[in-house]
């Protein structure tokens, strides 16, 4: 059985958009939704998502071996895939656009926090009521997120914020504030220097007389 040349062309034209390196292999996401597991030992396996992967996380099982990949995509989907078989275990969907960040919630790793481009944060999981619950919406895209002792810590551009699991915001730090303060100080120094130069230019200048040159 032969494979048409066009099929090889399509495969060669794929572009890697995400990759995750682990001690036992590499998880690779392509620009057409293809997800491939490339183990250091064994055969490559792959599966196909409905959208381009934007976030990839791998989880260890009870034996401490890597057993599951959790993948967020550009359509707000979250897919659980078994490793190394690459079988789809479960799928979830959230609102708010592109999935930008994810982290586990429980020690059993059966539920996850999902943050989106529009700043929405959701909890998804097979045991979550309705399979998804909207927790809160942050003002801006969330680029990273982690959970520590029921406190959700997020990064949104230069801003860091913390939220409770009930959606209440407990803290917010504007990372741009020190730069704005330094810029203000520089502007004040420049204005002071220019003011001093202006004052000196307005002072009467001493009369300079032409003196004869003595040979």
> Is residue 22 a part of any domain in this protein?
yes
- Same-domain status, 124 and 189: yes
For residue 45, pLDDT over 50 is answered with yes
Helix/strand/coil for 180: helix
Asked whether residue 211 carries a pLDDT value surpassing 60, the answer given is: no
Residues 75 and 113 in one domain: no
Same domain, residue pair 126 and 88:
no
pLDDT at 135: 94
Residues 78-124: tens digit of each pLDDT: 999 999 999 999 999 999 999 999 999 876 668 999 999 999 999 99
72: in domain: yes
Strand pairing class (132-137; 53-60): unpaired
Lay out the sheet containing 45-48: strands in order across.
16-22, 25-30, 34-39, 45-48
User: Can you spell out the DSSP letters for 114-173?
Assistant: EEETTSEEEEEETTSGGGEEEEEE-SS---EEEEETTEEEEEETTEEEEEETTS-EEEEE
Classify residue 5: in a domain, yes or no.
no
Average pLDDT of the chain, as a whole number: 83
Q: What is the value of pTM for the model shown? A: 0.71
Question: Is pLDDT above 70 for 207?
Answer: no
pLDDT, average across residues 26-48: 95
Residue 9: pLDDT band (50, 70, 90) is very low
93, 123, 151 - which closes a domain: 93
Q: Which of 156, 57, 150 is nearest to 102 (CA)?
A: 57
Q: What pLDDT band is residue 39 in, cutting at 50, 70 and 90?
A: very high
Same domain for 83 and 163, yes or no, is no
Which CATH number fits the domain that encloses residue 122? 2.40.10.480
- Whether residue 1 lies inside any domain: the answer is no
**Whether 108 and 190 share a structural domain:** yes
Taking the C-alpha atoms of residue 3 and residue 107, their distance in angstroms, rounded to an integer, is 46
pLDDT tens-place string over residues 165-196: 888 887 666 655 555 566 666 777 777 777 67
Higher pLDDT, 202 or 154: 154
Q: How far apart are CA 79 and CA 93, in angstroms?
A: 9
Burial classification of residue 13, based on how many CB atoms lie within 10 Å of its CB (0-12 exposed, 13-18 middle, 19 or more buried): exposed
Looking at the domain assignment, is residue 135 inside a domain? yes
The whole domain housing 38 covers 13-93
Q: Residue 146's beta-bridge partner residues? A: 153
Same domain, 43 and 25: yes
Residue 122 belongs to a domain: yes
Pair (116, 139) in one structural domain: yes
Number of domains in the chain: 2
What is the pLDDT at residue 186? Answer: 73
**Do the domain assignments include residue 174?**
yes
């Amino acid at each position: 059985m032969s494979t048409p040349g066009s099929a090889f062309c399509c495969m060669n034209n794929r572009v890697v958009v995400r990759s995750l390196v682990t001690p036992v292999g590499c998880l690779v996401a392509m620009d057409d939704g293809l997800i491939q597991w490339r183990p250091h030992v064994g055969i490559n396996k792959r599966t196909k998502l409905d959208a381009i992967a934007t976030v990839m996380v791998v989880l260890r099982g009870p034996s401490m071996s890597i057993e599951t990949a959790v993948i967020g995509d550009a359509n707000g989907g979250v897919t659980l895939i078994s490793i190394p078989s690459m079988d789809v275990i479960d799928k979830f969907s959230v609102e708010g656009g592109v999935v930008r960040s994810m982290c586990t919630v429980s020690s059993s790793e059966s539920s996850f926090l999902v943050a989106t481009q529009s700043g929405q944060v959701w909890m998804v999981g097979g045991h979550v009521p309705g399979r998804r619950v909207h927790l809160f919406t942050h003002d801006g895209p969330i680029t990273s997120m982690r959970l520590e002792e029921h406190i959700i810590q997020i990064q949104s551009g230069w801003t860091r914020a913390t939220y409770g699991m009930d959606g209440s915001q407990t803290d917010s730090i504007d990372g741009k504030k020190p730069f704005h303060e330094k810029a203000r100080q520089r502007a004040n120094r420049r204005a002071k220097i220019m003011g001093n130069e202006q004052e000196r230019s307005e002072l009467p200048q001493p009369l300079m007389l032409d003196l004869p040159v003595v040979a």
